[in-house]
Amino acid sequence: MADTGTIYLVGAGPGDPDLLTIRAARLIERARTIVHDGLVDPAILATARADAVLISVAKRRSHHTLPQEEISDLLVRLARSGEDVVRLKGGDPFIFGRGGEEALHLAAENIPFEIVPGITSSAACTAYAGIPLTHRGLAHSVRFITGHLAKEGSLDLDWNGLADPETTLVVYMGLTNLETICKQLIRHGLSPETPAAAINQGTRPDQRT
């Protein structure tokens, strides 16, 4: 029976291949099997070895190639077949990347794994846009939230708590519900004059701010 392989939960960063960590780049270059999200830039996948097996488990709004439970089960099956696998995620695995769920599943199945952090999109995209997340006299803290609905329904967030003019609010996956987010923040006390930016395709050549 083959020895159990190791699963590497790797953050691919926000898009620009130059923002990969050295550890991530080395793992991608030598991996025989890579299970990747749709947010991973093709230029990063192109750095994999020529004979690597690339398995896409891309998730798009209202369409998942595989449900999360099946992705976790796939990782277990690959590891038990003796494969060392790079599970490649956009950004950082533990910031809206569901890496925690996969790590818990692997631990429950006694599968060895390693977490390889990545540069999260909030820090990278704002830097490329020239926007500091904290700035003396303007913002003394940062708060990360998701603007994406896990299930159909309303965007139920702590709007009173989020409408803090001294905190930089970073909304991941917020473009679809951008109008609702803006209206709710203003309705709950944030000034309509509050500086704001929407960033799309962050750190890529076609980044729009």
- Hey, which residues are catalytic here? 37, 59
Angle at 136 between CA 131 and CA 137, to 5 degrees: 105
Amino acid at 197: A
Which helix (H) or strand (E) covers residue 35, if one does? strand 33-36
Classified as helix, coil or strand, 82 is coil
Q: Please, are residues 23 and 93 in contact by the beta-carbon 8 Å criterion?
A: no
What 8-state DSSP symbol labels residue 208?
A: B
Classified as helix, coil or strand, 7 is strand
Dihedral class, residue 95 (left if φ above 0, else alpha if ψ from -120 to 50, else beta): beta
Closest by CA position to 91, among listed 26, 144, 156 = 144
Burial of 19 (0-12, 13-18, 19+ CB in 10 A): buried
